Amino acid sequence: MAFVEFNDVRKVYKMGEVEVAAADGMTFTAEAGEFVVVVGPSGAGKTTLLNMLGGMDSCTSGTIMLDGRDISRFSERELTQYRRLDIGFVFQFYNLVQNLTALENVELASQICPHPLDAAQVLAQVGLAHRMDNFPAQLSGGEQQRVAIARALAKNPKLLLCDEPTGALDYKTGKAILKLLQDTCRATGKTVVLITHNSAFADIADRVIHVREGRVASCFVNPSPGNAADLEW
């Protein structure tokens, strides 16, 4: 059984009397330790996919399996526990707590987990050992995203989910972040799912999933994933 398994997952939003299917029968699988890149244009349903996978949103029908557990049947409480223990999130806009320093933002996540990584160590890993006591406002975008990644990693999750992590960053910084994510995946063996509208990122993925109009257009394993450092777009 695959580590991640979407089976005919549908997500229907009711907008007044109109039903909009954000996910219209998504089916794919991904294996543990893979660097998965989900590519698709705006509104294709990638974020919906990620939200459902991350336990932030529930599906209308179909099953979502992670590591053998059917999260699509989880209750609200189970979903919270799931997010808490199994998932690490990285957002486009970092979503750091402005009132906490870099270290504290990481600790914010680690304090609620049973087996967290050392916050300072994780920050050092993402290259921010020297900025640990700085507030988000005092950090650049890339540094903030590193803090966000460190926060996600410190929980020691099974799955790292990244929603356009480079979207708000300049090219160079974005690349560095991509590299960090890839390296993390390689170094820790964690499964990383990254969402982007930039199909160029497919090159560095172990597995590429193309999403279009709520469906998985294709899902294939990249036979020769490139290094993020070499990526250009």
Partner 1 sequence: MGAFRKEVLRSITHSWGRFLAIAVMAALGCGFYAGLRMTGPDMRLAGDEYYDATELCDLRVVSSLGMSDEQVDMLRDVEGVSGVMPAYEADAISQLAGTQYTLRYHSLDVDAAKASSCSDGLRVESDDADYVNRPILVEGSWPESDDECLLSADNVWTSPVHIGDTVELLEGTQDLDGVFTTRSFTVTGFVRSSYYTCTTNTGATSLGSGELSSFVFVPEGAFAADYPYTEAFLTVDGAAGEAWPDDAYQRRVDTVAQRLSDLSPQLSASRIEQLQRDAQAELDDKRAEFEREKADAVAQMDDAQAQLDDASARLDSAAMQLSSAAAQLSSSQTQLAQGEAELASGRAQHDSGTAQLAEQREQAQSAIAQAQAQLDAAQAQYDQAMAQRSQLEAQLEQARAAQLADVAAQLEAAIAQIDAQTAGAPDQLAAGRAELDAQREQAQAQLSAAQAQLDSAQSQLDDAEARLASGRAQYAAGQQSYEQGRAEYESGLAEQRSGQSELDGKRAEAQQRFADAEKQLADAQAEIDAIADKDANVYVLDRSKNLGAESFRSDAGRMDQIAAVFPLMFFLVAALVSLTTMTRMVEEERVLIGTYKALGYSNARITSKYLVYAVVASGVGAAVGIVLLSQFLPWFIMKAYSIMYMVPCMPTPVNPGVAASAAALGVGITVAATWFAAAATLRECPASLMLPRAPKAGKRILLERIRPLWSRMTFSWKVTARNLFRYKRRFFMAIIGIAGCTALLLTGLGLQNAINDIIDKQYGEVYSFNTIVRMDADEADQKAKDAVSNAVGSDGQEFAWVSTENKIACAPDDGAEHRFELVCAQDPEQLQRFVQMRERVGGQALALDGSGAIISEKLASQLGVSIGDTLTFYDEDDIGNLVGAGRTVTVAGVMENYVAQYAYVTADVYEQAMGQPADFATVYADLGDGVDRDAFSDQLLSMDGVKTVTYSDETINSYRTMLKSVNSVVVVLVVAAALLAFVVLYNLTNINITERAREIATLKVLGFTSHEVDAYIFRETILLSVIGAAIGLVLGIFMEGFVITTAEVDQVMFGRDIHAASFAIAFALTMAFSGVVALAMRGKLRRIDMVESLKSNE
Interaction site with partner 1 (CB under 8 A)? 47, 51, 54, 56-57, 77, 80-85, 87, 89, 91-93, 95-101, 104, 107-109, 111-113, 135-138, 151, 155, 163, 168
Longest dimension (CA), the chain: 54
Compute the least distance from the CB of residue 136 to partner 1, in Å.
Answer: 7
CA distance 10 to 1: 21
Residues 97, 118 contacting (CB under 8 angstroms): no
2/85 with CB nearer partner 1: 85
Compute the least distance from the CB of residue 220 to partner 1, in Å.
Answer: 28
CA distance 62 to 73: 10
Residue whose C-alpha is closest to residue 141's, from 184, 74, 183, 94: 94
63/134 with CB nearer partner 1: 134
Cα 11 to chain centroid, rounded? 19
51/184 with CB nearer partner 1: 51
Compute the least distance from the CB of residue 221 to partner 1, in Å.
Answer: 29
Compute the least distance from the CB of residue 208 to partner 1, in Å.
Answer: 24
Compute the least distance from the CB of residue 108 to partner 1, in Å.
Answer: 5
136/214 with CB nearer partner 1: 136
87/231 with CB nearer partner 1: 87
167/226 with CB nearer partner 1: 167
Compute the least distance from the CB of residue 105 to partner 1, in Å.
Answer: 9
Provide CB contacts within 8 A for 205, sequence distance 6+: 35, 36, 37, 194, 222, 225
Which amino acid is residue 107, in one-letter code?
Answer: E
94/204 with CB nearer partner 1: 94
Compute the least distance from the CB of residue 111 to partner 1, in Å.
Answer: 6
